[in-house]
Each structure stands twice: as structure tokens, then as C-alpha cells.
A and B are shown apart, each in its own frame.
Chain A
Amino acid sequence: MIRRYQTVLFILLLAASVIMTVLLWRQLDRAHQHMLDGQSSTPTEAPQVAPAEPATLMAASDADGALQPRVLSLPLPSLAANPGARARAILGRLLDLYAASDSAHPVPGGAASVLEVFLLPAPQSAPGAAPAKGTPAQNGGELAVVNLSGSFAANHPSGIETETLTVLSICATLHANFPRITSVRFLVDGKQVDTLAGHADLTRTYLTSQAVPAEAVTP
């Protein structure tokens, strides 16, 4: 037989359990609400995808030693905001072409080989001074400094033709997309080196006007 005090104790414990359950439920709701209040309710901004724009790549061919224009549609950084990044993206696409298995001018490395492209005002020479090697004479133009990776230079096929075509195609591609670029200098891992892979001189300043074949610039 259940005694009276046991019945009262059971009812009290049951009532306490119900009360604690209600309190616990309220505490859980309050904590959840507190957590939600701490978060920003601003919707996440969707990443902007750069619109595709036409870019002209002056692609080299070892078979005939010529540069041929190829117009591709590429998503590019804004010209006004970051012209250096835009030039790097275009040159990266050019080197991607060369790294492809069916390339007419096979050079390993790809887009990652272009570390940086710096655009600077071209140095001005004295009036009447003859343009000389290493001293660009264009006024009002821009000098592009292309910093290539050391692995690109180390793995570049050796030869006068292939190295010259790589250098000229980079110069011509820059000129085709940035007409204000009148001269180009090259660095490898941020340093000046004598040659690309034993032949093409990288100590000089290349004039883009000499790199662009006359028949290729005509649209």
C-alpha cells in the first residue's frame, strides 16, 4: 500500500519535472534567439563575374616563324582599375595557348609563368637623341615590365627562333591590347637576366613597334 507522504512526494517531483522542462525549453528558445541576434542579417553579396571582352593574342608559330593574331573573348579585370592585372591575364592566356599539347609554339608553363606586369611611364630621352638599345626613346607611351617565373625560363626550349618568337609575341600581344605600351622589358623572378634560355637578349628594352608584323596589325 502506497503511503500518503509517498504520493505527495511523487506529485511534487512530477510538478518540478514539468516546471524544469518548461524552463529549459524557454532557455533554449532564448539562447537561439540570442544567437540569431548576433549575426548580420545583410544578405551575402554575390561575386561579380567580369564580363567577357575581346582580346587579341599574337600567337607564334614555329613552323613559319610568324605571329598570327587570334581574337578570344576573355573575362578580364577592368582596364581603368587595374591595367597591370588585365595585361597579366591576357599574357597568361597567351602562355596557356603555348602550353597546350597541340601548340604551334610549344612552351611549358602556362598562365602561372607571368608573375606580374607593371605598367610605367616610358622614359623620355633627350630631344633629337637617336633611339639606342636599352634606352627607349618614345615619349608619352608606357613601358611594360613583364616579370616571368624562373621555372618558365628554365623550361623554355632553347633556340634563337623559339626564344625570339616568345619575346616578340609577348611584346606584340601587349601592344595589340594596350596601344600606349611602346616598350617592354623582361625580368625573371624579379631580376634582370642575360637571356631567356641562352639566346634571346633580355637585358635590352624591346620596342613594340618592331615586334608587330605589319600584316598582322590590320584587323
Chain B
Amino acid sequence: MRWSKRHPVSIGSIDGKRILAVVAAALAMFPIAAVAQAPVSRYTVVLDAAHGGEDTGGHSITPGGTWMEKDTALALSVRLRSLLAARGMNVVTTRETDVNVDPVKRDELADHANAQACITLHASLSGTGVHLFTSSLAPAPPARILPWRTAQASFINRSLNLAGVLNSALQHGGLNVMLGRTSLPVIDSMTCPAVAIELSPDSATGKPGHTGVDSLNDADYQARVAEAIAAAIVEWRAQPAGAGQP
């Protein structure tokens, strides 16, 4: 009561009725503004460039130059982000620069994005072509509360479907593809269709003296792979499973 006496509704020359009228007008406009400012529900894709900062991932130091997995993963992520954004998708990346992001933070970003596809990007000098990996967890029914370390179990079937679409698109792009299952902590905790893509040296370069490091650093090779992945995600968006239906 004491407070209300000290601070009456009337302030200066503006009386209470005027303030109420302004507030009412603002409230009347608020729903319209909210609709206008709400983000349009867009197709969301998470791109996770593995490693970063002091975590170089795989690396090779040769007289011809130095190669680090973190750099190839980031370069591929940047290319892919541009291609997907150009196709009208909302792209969430776990890192844009050479920084080390905690694996838990990566998963939190992916899980909060409510994405329809999560792609973890790696690179390796072992093997050839593109390696597609899904989680080796056994499929589990959907649940409201998921264990952190096995959250991906509820999305395994959709992840396998996504890997199949990626496989088709990459092969259509003339790339050598290998499919597999693995236990990778980052994708095991993702609550979205998730695939780990590992870029390995191109088996079809055929250039004399072209080493694995040269192949992984080859901008043309990275561009081919990025184009094929982008085409696959466009294809995935058109499918019921890719659109978010179980």
C-alpha cells in the first residue's frame, strides 16, 4: 500500500487511461508481430566438422606438406554449408573456425537443433573413397527420455536410410563408397538421423605422383563430394523418413 501511494499509476502528464490504451494497443499488435518475426519452419541440417584446435585428428607430415584431418573436415563443412543454404535449408554447424569443441557440446547443438539430418565430417589417409558410418547401436523404440550415450538407438533405422541415400548419391557422382557401422561417441548421442562421413583419398585421380595427402587437399575432389552429399540431402528431404516421419 505504501508503495502504491509513492508510485501512482499516473506518471507526469500521462494519466492511467492513456497508459492502459497504449498497453492494450501493444498487446493487440503483439500476435501479429510474433507471427511476422517467428522463423519459418525450415529443414534443418547439422554439420559437425570433427576435431579442431589442438585436436588435429589424423595428421601426416611429409616433405611435400602437412595434412591435418581437422582442416579437411572444416573445409568440407564450409563447402557443404554453402550448398545446403543455397537450397533453402537451415544449416547448423558445430564449428566455423579452427577451435576444439567438446563432444558433449557438439551433441547438445545437434540435439537442440531438432534436425532432420546430422552429418559428422571426418577425413583419413586410410582406404579410398568415401566411408559412410552409422552407429553400431541396436535399434530401440522411440522414448521421451533417452539415455545420453545410446540416444541414437531410437534413430538407427532412419540413420541407415539416410546412409543409403548418401551411398546412392555418392556412387552416382562416381565416387567409391564403403558402408559400415561403428561406435563413435559423437553420433551415438545424437537424437537425429546421423551419419559419419569419412573422406579418404580418391582412388580415381590417376594423376602421377598424386599422394593421399594431395587427394584430400584437392579442392575439386572436395567439391565433388560436397555436391554429392548436398544432392543426397535434397533427396532425403523429399522422403517421408527424411521429412521427419518415422
Contact = CB atoms under 8 A, between A and B. Distances in A.
A65 B188 contact: no
A162 interface: yes
Interface in B137-159: 137-138, 140, 147, 149-150
Interface string B114-127: 00000000111111
Nearest to A199: B184
A160 B196 contact: yes
B200 interface: yes
Contacts of A194: 185
Interface in B158-199: 178, 180, 182-185, 188, 196, 198
A134 B149 CA distance: 10
A198 to B, nearest CB: 6
B149 A160 contact: no
Query: B interface, how many residues as a size bin?
Result: 20 to 34
Given A133-B188, A198-B58, A158 B147 contact: no
Contact of A65 (B127, B136, B137, B183): B127
Contact of A158 (B69, B128, B150, B183): B69
Given A65-B131, A199-B122, A200-B183, A159 B178 contact: no
Contacts of B69: 158
A201 B69 CA distance: 18
Interface of B: 51, 55, 57-59, 69, 122-128, 131, 133, 136-138, 140, 147, 149-150, 178, 180, 182-185, 188, 196, 198, 200
Given A133-B137, A159-B127, A200-B183, 19 more contacts: A62-B127, A63-B127, A65-B178, A65-B180, A130-B140, A132-B147, A133-B183, A158-B57, A158-B58, A160-B131, A160-B133, A160-B196, A161-B126, A161-B131, A161-B180, A164-B180, A194-B185, A200-B184, A210-B136
